[in-house]
A = this chain, B = another copy of it.
Amino acid sequence: MLERLVYRFEEGRASMRDLLGGKGASLAEMTYVGLPVPPGFTLTTEVCRLYNANGKVLPDGIPEAIESEMRVLEEKTGKRFGAADNPLLVSVRSGAPVSMPGMMDTILNLGLHDGNVDGFARLTGDRRFALDCYRRLIQMFGNVVMGVPHDAFEQVLARARSEQGVASDAELSAASLERVVAEYKAVVEREARQPFPQDPREQLMRAVRAVFDSWENERAKVYRRVHKIPEELGTAVNVQAMVFGNMGDDSGTGVMFTRDPSTGEKVLYGEYLPNAQGEDVVAGIRTPLPIGRLEREAPAIYAELQRIADLLERHYRDMQDLEFTVEHGKVFMLQARAGKRSAAAAVRIAVDMVKEGLIDRETALLRVDAQQLIQLLHPSVDPSYTGGILATGLAAAPGAATGEVVFSADEAERLGKQGRKVILVRTETTPDDIHGIVEAQGVLTSHGGMTSHAAVVARGMGKPAVVGCEAIEIHAQQGYFRVHGREIRAGEVITIDGTSGRVFPGAVPLTTPGLSGEVQELLGWADEVRRLGVRANADTPLDAQRSRELGAEGVGLCRTEHMFMAPERLPVVQQMITAQSREERQAALDRLLPMQQHDFYEIFKAMDGLPVIVRLLDPPLHEFLPAEEVLAEEIARMKAEGAEPEAVARKERMLASTRSLREFNPMLGFRGCRLGIVYPEINEMQARAIFQAQAQLLREGFHPVVEVMIPLVGLQGEMRAMDDLVRRVARQVMEEQGMELDFHVGTMIEVPRACLIADELAEIAEFFSFGTNDLTQTTFGYSRDDAEGKFLREYLEQKLLPEDPFVSIDERGVGELVRIGIERGRSRRPDLEIGICGEQGGDPATIDFCHRVGMDYVSCSPFRIPIARLAAAQAELRERDAAKAAERAEVNQ
């Protein structure tokens, strides 16, 4: 069935977003609600798909449809498109089903030409205005449709300003603008090798095609990749009668949020630029007024805006991001969409709206992007820090970040990919800077407001940003910025605090905020809804404590090797590894025992009453030894310096151990329970440390809940041998201590074979924890360390992979093995406790998967606990929705 390809605004509704795009659907809905919207029509996303499939040719009938819709517009407005007198001007704007702010093109004022600019001047009674509109048209059309660089026009404008001796474009006189128009046309002819088209119909058709083309421009593609927006969506194109914010001081243009998008406070929030057209605000070139100023300065307009805001919030039951133009005091709505917001704002708005009766708790839970909650636990500058600041700008995106100063997006990308932390410092950012922002820790700009490109993009990515920090004076070419007489050069370290807007020299101590009352409230609701448990991957008592505060219901993964790495312990660990005899190894282990026991004691205590899964030693032993080259050099140096022969011999033994432990593929080598099979005494020590800590705590009145996890099991025999070992040690400790100890022994499932023989493993293992990092490596045959640098990025760019499988679980491959593992495991032991402890355990899409496949819990890093709590609730709610939908479908059958 063919979709209808063209809709007038009054024919559409908000629900038709996929077809009409966000802007088109919004204009239709606002028209429907009775708000003042300039009339127009929408070419649907289907036209875009046909256009692209068709080799960039508009589908049959579309040019004719545009013609006929233009006649309808002419009737509605009483104006005529291209006419010398009373001409109808239109805008052509993109509008995809998913918001991609600033990514695609817009052209305003179409319909002006040499033959009617005078008539338009007469009509509006403002020759300056008419010329300004015309020069804007030439500039936008020249740039977007004809590919003339922006700079070429800016140079003309700058010259005009300096010739007339004024600071802003708004001050240019009609005479100046007349020259600008002439020069603009010359620029176009020179750069594009063809004149600016004088036929308004040609203008319109070419503008429509150019906006469809902009769906596939580079920056839009990057944006879609970063934001995971499917290529097939396409954009709609809206053709709309122009209204003018640049008709003098009783006109203007603005964007506003119905609530504060940073804090969520219920107050109109936004910016208004008098005597300007929309692109002036978005570009952030002139600094606009806060919207609140209108309350005093133009109370009627403010009241009208407030009325519209309230009406739309009630209508959409969500915070709105509005674009409007005021023409001679009358407000026209150009766009209404759900507003982007910080995590804090998202939570506050959701919670407030529940209290205001606008939405229910379930909606509130689904309203907040779980992933975004990471921002709440983003670092901020330690409040006790008393060092000086460099400057203060607008707090555009919360969180703090430290990094080296870089002045170009390319440089940010290059260094960022090398793993260096950088802060991108720009006068302002443009969509062409996206690739640099992606790789930077944060963004600092000297110009632009809260809705400038830098601010919007950084907020979207959850990166700290300070914008409009006018005190800094950037000399990118020379590689430094100046601030209050001080020079900061590229490569120097600064810290920005996007929560307060402050910029600091050097690296400043950062702390992490707790969770606000609203967040606690929302997460409390989430806890009531969710079925999945949430545990933390925590290796230290501090991590355990912190994750418990964040709502963890236990430790899902306590990695014991990190304890081995502590500087005071490493020599003992090395002694154990290089031991020449079982006795020598035992001696080292005897020294490690009390240290490990102490660790476990503290972690169990921090998690008192909640389960703690301790994983026995996992990494290959050579990870604890210095690199071969380093040792060889050290030995050579010691010998040259005449060191004690015994010391040299000790080093030489270590070198020999390192060499004998060297592996071709350590990921697939001698590690995990394989170590325990060959050197059981290491795991015996660990088991003893675990059970002695447990006994000690029990005696002190605590309630340790102990689970021992065997890593890298792939054979039933391994599970049996290690289970035997752990239980043997437990019996010994119970006997020595004269008390009963309760515990479980289970396994980490991290190789494909373990999934396939999960039934055999479940005969012995009392719990499974999917280690999806390694499972992803073995299922794909990817070494993560190698793949990321060598081919994974290329694969993501070429879309061979839809996602980085180390971030979100690969449902089709890895997920399938997980499903098999769960099914077979439970077939043998129906009450098998099953969780996930790979890094993906804190990823919302993965959590949704874990919910669907019936896991008992997810375990993730402490900072991701709130995400996991919310994502788990959302998974449950989505499941309920799906069940209801299925029920309805059944009833209708």
Contacts and interface: CB of A to CB of B under 8 A. Distances in A.
A665 B714 CA distance: 20
Contacts of A175: none
A778 B813 CA distance: 13
A783 B664 contact: yes
- Size range of the chain A interface in the assembly: 35 or more
B669 A800 contact: no
Identical copies in the complex: 2
Among A665, A677, A718, A756, the most chain B Cβ lie within 10 Å of the Cβ of A665
A752 to B, nearest CB: 4
A757 B805 CA distance: 15
A487 interface: no
A670 B750 CA distance: 22
Contact of A756 (B667, B715, B785, B817): B817
Interface stretch (A310-318, A379-387, A787-795): A787-795
Contact of A678 (B667, B757, B791, B810): B791
Nearest to A794: B678
Interface in A631-669: 663-669
Contact of A783 (B665, B785, B813): B665
A781 interface: yes
Contacts of A714: 780-781, 813
Contact of A753 (B677, B715, B757, B813): B813
A307 interface: no
A677 B801 CA distance: 13
Contact of A663 (B663, B756, B786): B786
Contact of A668 (B663, B715, B782, B798): B782
User: DSSP class of A's interface residues: helix, strand, loop or mixed?
Assistant: helix
Nearest to A717: B800
A62 to B, nearest CB: 32
A584 interface: no
Nearest to A785: B664
A752 B755 CA distance: 11
B751 A780 contact: yes
Contacts of A790: 663, 669-670, 674, 678
A715 B777 CA distance: 14
A782 B753 CA distance: 11
Contacts of A791: 670, 674, 677-678
Interface in A740-765: 750-753, 756-757, 760
Contacts of A778: 668, 752, 778-779, 781
Interface string A86-116: 0000000000000000000000000000000
Contacts of A670: 786-787, 790-791
Interface in A809-861: 810, 812-814, 816-817
Contacts of A756: 779, 812-813, 816-817
24 contacts: A664-B785, A665-B666, A665-B668, A665-B785, A665-B786, A666-B783, A668-B778, A669-B787, A677-B794, A677-B798, A677-B800, A712-B781, A714-B781, A715-B795, A721-B798, A750-B781, A752-B752, A752-B778, A752-B813, A753-B779, A753-B781, A753-B814, A756-B816, A778-B781
Given A665-B666, A751-B780, A760-B812, 6 more contacts: A665-B668, A674-B791, A677-B798, A717-B800, A751-B779, A752-B813
